[in-house]
Structure 1
Amino acid sequence: MLRRTHPLLAPTAETGSAETGSAPSESGSTQVRYRTVAVDGLDIFYREAGPSGAPAILLLHGFPTSSQMFRDLIPRLADRYRVVAPDYPGFGHSAAPDRDAFAYTFDAYAALVDKFTRQVGLDRFAIYVMDYGAPVGFRLATANPDRVTALVIQNGNAYEDGIAGFWDPIKAYWRTGAAPEREAIRSFTSLQATQWQYTHGVKDTSLISPDAWTLDQALLDRPGNQEIQLDLFYDYRNNLPLYPRWQAYFRDRKPPALVVWGANDEIFVAPGAEAYRRDLPHAEIHMIDTGHFALETHGPQVAALIRDFLDRSVGSSRA
């Protein structure tokens, strides 16, 4: 049985939905709207802002967060771009179906996000990929290369160069798929681990709102959600064999690419950023003195880089 969006989080007449809400107007294009659309019978929550006819950018979040990681970035881009940020099933305010009713895999996420983009009218779009957003977004791009106008990559991996010691206990689980190894990484869903992801490698942690990890943890702590996350940790092993396919896409299609990377990240380490130069020699790479969640500490700087990059790569709608 599917667990749909919690009633208290369901769209209202005030916030609207994809079926009933009005599109953002040109005069109020930076107003963020919070919508829900049914995709394959699942309620998918998303944030949207910007002129409906402007060039689009799809924001794909990572673990353990949701589209809330883009709460400040969206209005910084929405005067020129249509900005859309969905939550995957099991994350944020989207449905969290039972594990026997939905396969929590990156293949399933990519297929669902593909359908989502078509339902909300994203025909061509740039993609911002971060963490889990990379295996979702790169699947989407390789399956639909003509629909993707540009890549913005923030601590999102496509090279084994980017995977270091943090992954050792997860790799042990990949090797066995057994209960002891699964239990050994359960702590990755704890409050301590979530806060560490936000603060590790950050020089000035006073820049990071504790609201971010508190909200993420509240959603991780929902009944059954740890098991969903452990399933995804296990399925991540299926991303690495796809790296050569994604790299071939980079070489063959040469999408405009901006790489913005928290240089002190231990989850996806700095060599993973530099590796993009092998297949995207014209990629613009910016290493930032921060950790995994670069938007939390360097949001205005990252937004400025994205605006400049997209203006040159795909154009803009100047409201």
Structure 2
Amino acid sequence: MTRLLTSMVFAAVTLATVPHALAAPAPVLASTAAIARPAPPVIHYQTATVDGVKVFYREAGPADGPVLLLLHGFPTSSHMFRNLIPLLADKYRVIAPDYPGYGQSDAPDHTQFSYTFANQADIVDKLVSQLGLKRYTMYVMDYGAPIGYRLALKHPERVSGLIVQNGNAYTEGLQSPFWDPIKVYWADRAQKNRDALNGLVTLDITKFQYTDGMGDVGRISPDNWVHDQALLDRPGNRDIQLDMLGDYGSNVPFYPAFQKFFRDYQPPMLIVWGKNDKIFPEAGAHPYLRDLPKAEIHILDSGHFALEDRLDVMAPMIHDFLDRKVTK
């Protein structure tokens, strides 16, 4: 009887443990698969002091990788690149600053700081120097285009490539009715003409910039216009934006110099343009080919902030372009 009980207990223990023994390799296999997957890039949120102003920037990717400098548009900040950065930081050192008056950077009163494109380009130039960047590709969009191109005029030898998304360097791109009241203010800085631009920093227009012309508005996070508008509504920020809108006209006389830079240096260029943009319409994209006939151009069925609508298309294009064309 004792032997029978012993045998039954042994059998029960064996049956209970065999399935676990058979299943034991599964966690090992899962662990091996997890190890094989690359870890997501770590993004650091940094600040530097430039001319007494705190400048915020996002940074990710290998410290020794080719540098990609992301220059944002109006009315946003480096926030516009938040989804793109992890997709490029596997092998590229990605840096995306906020200009003074935007995002997380300081926003000195407009009577104490010169909110001009020349000064913003100087701030970015000094930040780049602080970070020790000797060569970089620039992604330029909206305001980022004249800021980046002014930077290129200062240091043409540093530019290893250009990615242009709805960023203008030709008069053909300024024919939209959006610019009509702004051009009036360029010509006459009367207070009434400045006041006529107040609507451009309201929630309706901020939301319009994110949703107009998008093929699937369901892809566009409302966080975008809520985030941007909260910053626009800070005390004093409206005057900062009106100063910048008023100074945008200072870029137009530089267009011939920008174009000469393109012709003389022939930087590799990728153009990815939202064709439904009512601010920088498609007409501004094609003239680049006059000066850079080898530029790669993709006209997308999207609007002003095409990254919000077509990230799945744009990110592979950008990565492929960098892989093929860009070196340190």
Structure with bigger gyration radius: 2
The alignment-based identity, stated in percent, is: 57
Instruction: Provide Cα deviations, 1:72-123, integer angstroms capped at 9, x if missing partner.
Output: 0000000010000000000000000112221000000001100001111221
> Where does structure 1 differ by over 6 angstroms across 4 or more consecutive aligned residues?
none
SS in 1 for 2:59: strand
**For 1:88 and 1:82, how far apart are their aligned partners in 2?**
19
**For 1:32 and 1:300, how far apart are their aligned partners in 2?**
20
Could you tell me which residue of structure 2 aligns to residue 108 of structure 1?
119
**For 2:139 and 2:190, how far apart are their aligned partners in 1?**
34
Which residue type is aligned with residue 94 of structure 2? V
Greater fraction of residues in helix: 2
**For 1:287 and 1:80, how far apart are their aligned partners in 2?**
26
**For 1:82 and 1:223, how far apart are their aligned partners in 2?**
35
Q: Is the 8 A contact 1:29 1:49 kept in 2?
A: no
Asked if 1:251 is matched to 2:266, the reply is no
TM-superposed deviation, 1:29: 7.1
Asked if 1:83 is matched to 2:117, the reply is no
Greater shift, 158-167 or 216-225, is seen at: 158-167
Mapping for residues 1-319 of structure 1, pairs under 5 Å: 30-163=41-174, 164-315=176-327
**For 1:70 and 1:157, how far apart are their aligned partners in 2?**
19
**For 2:148 and 2:167, how far apart are their aligned partners in 1?**
10
**For 1:271 and 1:98, how far apart are their aligned partners in 2?**
36
Instruction: Provide Cα deviations, 1:176-200, integer angstroms capped at 9, x if missing partner.
Output: 1111111111100000000000011
**For 2:150 and 2:40, how far apart are their aligned partners in 1?**
30
Q: Is the 8 A contact 2:160 2:327 kept in 1?
A: no
Q: Structure 2 unaligned segments of length 5 or more: list them.
A: 1-37
**For 1:222 and 1:298, how far apart are their aligned partners in 2?**
30
TM-superposed deviation, 1:28: 5.9
The alignment's TM-score, normalised by the length of structure 2, stands at 0.87
The alignment's TM-score, normalised by the length of structure 1, stands at 0.89
Compute the RMSD of aligned alpha carbons. Answer: 1.1
Q: Is the 8 A contact 1:105 1:232 kept in 2?
A: yes
Greater shift, 94-103 or 182-191, is seen at: 94-103
Which residue type is aligned with residue 152 of structure 1? I
SS in 1 for 2:285: helix
How many pairs does the alignment contain? Answer: 290
TM-superposed deviation, 1:142: 1.3
Which residue type is aligned with residue 226 of structure 1? R
